[in-house]
Amino acid sequence: METLRDLIEECEDQLNEYALERLDECDPDDIAAAVGSTDDFNDLIELHGGIIHEIADGSTPIHYSDLLDVARDDINMATSEPELGPAFGGEATPTNIIAANIFEALSNAMWEYTESDEWKDHIKTYCETNKIVLDVGGPSYANYHRAKEGK
């Protein structure tokens, strides 16, 4: 039985993978400059509502038994009115309400995660691994590549 916590952890893992893929495409100086500001960092890796919603949507169960398992674990999924209205066509069936509540819970949890110390530590670890110095001005591009190549 999958719980809401399990789904949230899967979404956080997907968000981490997304961020790492995006960071690998970015200039190290831009990373160093952006890490201090959540907004700048989110802009740098193109973290926005669209990707959050895409991950939440893909992680929301669609089978009745899975939806009911999550609701059994967290009764709020079955008893709260979703802000966005029912999922899957909009009929106010129990499973559509549960699915919408799960989607909203996953989306909200990922936004909260991007403000957490765990997220910040994840990004700092990436920077340390790639020898990106997070102090004023960051590393020079040449120094970054020399460090990455072991020179």
Cβ within 8 Å of residue 89, ≥6 positions away = 96
Helix (H, G, I), strand (E, B) or coil at 62: coil
Q: Would you say 29 and 35 are in contact if contact means Cβ atoms under 8 Å apart?
A: no
Domain range for residue 77? 4-148
The Cα 114–Cα 99 span in angstroms is 23
> Two tokens at 71?
């609701």
The Cα 84–Cα 72 span in angstroms is 21
Q: Crossing angle for the helix pair 64-73 and 4-24, nearest 10 degrees?
A: 110
Residue 30 gets which letter from DSSP? H
> Two tokens at 65?
């038994």
**Digitized pLDDT (tens) for each residue of the chain, 151 residues in all:** 889 999 999 999 999 999 999 999 999 989 988 887 888 888 999 998 899 999 999 999 999 999 999 999 999 999 999 999 999 888 899 999 999 999 999 999 999 999 999 998 888 899 999 988 875 444 455 455 545 555 4
Number of domains comprising the chain = 1
Q: Would you say 28 and 144 are in contact if contact means Cβ atoms under 8 Å apart?
A: yes
